[in-house]
Amino acid sequence: MSELSQLSPQPLWDIFANICAIPHPSYHEEQLAEHIMGWAKEKGLHAERDQVGNILIRKPATAGMENRKPVVLQAHLDMVPQKNNDTVHDFTTDPIRPYVDGEWVKARGTTLGADNGIGMASALAVLADDSVKHGPLEVLLTMTEEAGMDGAFGLQPNWLQADILINTDSEEEGEIYMGCAGGIDFITDLPLTREPVPAGFATFTLTLKGLKGGHSGAEIHVGLGNANKLLVRFLAGHAQELDLRLLDFTGGTLRNAIPREAIATVAVPADKAEQLKTLANAYLAILQNELEMKEKNLTVLLASANSDKAALTTASRDTFIRLLNAMPNGVIRNSDVAKGVVETSLNVGVVTLQDNNAEIVCLIRSLVDTGKDYVVSMLESLGALAGATTHPKGGYPGWQPDAHSPVMALVRETYQRLFNKTPNIQVIHAGLECGLFKKPYPNMDMVSIGPTITGPHSPDEQVHIESVGHYWTLLTELLKAIPAK
């Protein structure tokens, strides 16, 4: 028996232990899906799957509650497979080994899959536990959320009967989510021309590093330094006076992480090397002053280098530098609906130079789809001015906050009544599946709740035991309180 069977509430924890025992990383959810289908049919519940593999299970209303608005409880089937370097674990065959450590449940050396396994277990526990009172109920378990939201993208209209969707994929007990940002990648390709570095030039690498970096959505409002933007700003200020030639520029590693480091390889006439050094030091002092509170470890390093690369022509150099320097970055607009939350942002994430081409990859996020369109149009305009080709890629919609959502108001009242404190109504500047559900189900009233999970997507993932109890109480009281149609 798992030590999770000692925990309360049951059967939620036992169901979670069973989920842990069946491998279910993204793209390998089939075994768990089949298990759940068999389990539901054994219980005499209607269960079916759609063409992308999403599971839908229906349970009739508790006697006397048939007139309530139908509700769908939703979770994703997959988990993120991450392990420590020294852990031997095959996520496609080996079970997750959860254990209790004080107030928390953790896994041994791997992600736990509490994201979204606790949510999934809570939905199945409502199906299993006849003492929970509810109106007409559906449970929707989606495929491959963590690796592209395949299930949410494939969800068909007229499949769900519910009017209200409760998403269980948020990770802070006491917070209620009513909206999330959508995103889109944006790629700018600028053709480059090169020529040999003139004789008598000295070559250097100019490195800007030591920035904190972070999640390009959740932390975009913090005002952290973006290495790409900070390095190009120096070049924009001094390339012409130094007669500087640009051989290379590379910065950032992921489009969804704020870049921590950028490096330019440059050449200047030998008699200007001293001036370059002075200017680089002066620039470091400027940045240290501007970012004193946020970026304590920021440094600018100039080092002699050898390179046989050709340099960009001065015209090509200027176009590249001006394009990147003029590119907007960070917060574009804050939300009027969700106070203190970013509505639209972008992260100038990755810059790389090839022989004939510079590529700049941005990730744009917005709570409103037209906010993304606005940034796309700015970047397209900028690209056109520079003679670059541009293309957006892989967009997904946001979940626009609805300040008048009845279910959000009901969750707030229910939480207040149960715990005698006001929950935080939140919008996240990152992705949830709810935005995609709005397409086939534009009138669905949606809200997202969950227990407290820290370190999701990492081997440090853990779920707070007491918060699971609070979350379960909130969920079951909420189901009881859903109004009549």
Q: What are phi and psi of 107, to 5 degrees?
A: -120, 160
Q: How far apart are CA 327 and CA 383, in angstroms?
A: 9
253-276: b or e for each residue (b if 16 or more CB lie within 10 Å)?
eebbbbbbbbbbbbbbbeebbeeb
Return the number of the residue (423 or 456) whose C-beta is nearest Zn ion. Answer: 456
Q: At closest approach, how far in Å is the CB of 418 from Zn ion?
A: 24
Return the number of the residue (146 or 163) whose C-beta is nearest Zn ion. Answer: 146
Any idea what DSSP says for residue 95? P
- Helices and strands of the chain, counted as H and E runs: 11, 25
Return the number of the residue (169 or 172) whose C-beta is nearest Zn ion. Answer: 169
* 64 Cβ contact partners less than 8 Å away, ≥ 6 residues apart: none
Q: At closest approach, how far in Å is the CB of 377 from Zn ion?
A: 31
Q: How far apart are CA 177 and CA 180, in angstroms?
A: 8
Distances in Å between the Cα of 344 and the Cα atoms of 57, 148, 330, 336, 400 are 36, 21, 9, 11, 12
What is the secondary structure of 292-354 as a DSSP string?
TTT-TT-EEEEEE----PPEEPHHHHHHHHHHHHHS--EEEEE-SSSTT-EEEEEEEEEEEE-
Q: At closest approach, how far in Å is the CB of 323 from Zn ion?
A: 36
Q: At closest approach, how far in Å is the CB of 433 from Zn ion?
A: 9
SS3 469: helix
Dihedral in degrees, nearest 10, Cα atoms 362, 368, 370, 371: -50
Catalytic one of 145, 169, 173, 433: 145
* 204 Cβ contact partners less than 8 Å away, ≥ 6 residues apart: 265, 266, 267, 268, 273, 276, 302, 303, 304, 305
Q: At closest approach, how far in Å is the CB of 78 from Zn ion?
A: 9
Instruction: Give the binding site for Zn ion (CB under 5 A).
Output: 115-116, 169
Q: At closest approach, how far in Å is the CB of 335 from Zn ion?
A: 23
Catalytic one of 14, 78, 138, 433: 78
Q: At closest approach, how far in Å is the CB of 116 from Zn ion?
A: 4
Question: Among 321, 322, 317, which residue's Cα sits nearest to residue 195?
Answer: 317
Return the number of the residue (77 or 197) whose C-beta is nearest Zn ion. Answer: 77
Return the number of the residue (169 or 343) whose C-beta is nearest Zn ion. Answer: 169
Q: How many residues does the chain have?
A: 485
Q: At closest approach, how far in Å is the CB of 182 from Zn ion?
A: 16
Return the number of the residue (120 or 206) whose C-beta is nearest Zn ion. Answer: 120
Return the number of the residue (115 or 461) whose C-beta is nearest Zn ion. Answer: 115
Question: Is 271 tagged catalytic?
Answer: no
Q: How far apart are CA 448 and CA 168, in angstroms?
A: 6
Return the number of the residue (19 or 362) whose C-beta is nearest Zn ion. Answer: 19
Question: Is 78 tagged catalytic?
Answer: yes
Query: How many of the other CB atoms lie within 10 Å of CB of 341?
Result: 18
Q: How far apart are CA 480 and CA 54, in angstroms?
A: 26
Q: At closest approach, how far in Å is the CB of 156 from Zn ion?
A: 22
Long-range pairs of 253-257 with CB within 8 A, sequence gap ≥ 24: 253/350, 254/349, 254/350, 255/185, 255/216, 255/347, 255/349, 255/350, 255/361, 255/362, 255/363, 256/215, 256/216, 256/217, 256/347, 256/349, 256/363, 257/213, 257/214, 257/215, 257/216, 257/347, 257/349
Across-strand partners of 185?
363, 393
Q: At closest approach, how far in Å is the CB of 169 from Zn ion?
A: 4
Return the number of the residue (116 or 203) whose C-beta is nearest Zn ion. Answer: 116
* 260 Cβ contact partners less than 8 Å away, ≥ 6 residues apart: 209, 210, 211, 212, 213, 227, 252
Helix extents (H) in 221-272: 227-238
Return the number of the residue (15 or 112) whose C-beta is nearest Zn ion. Answer: 112
Positions marked catalytic: 78, 145
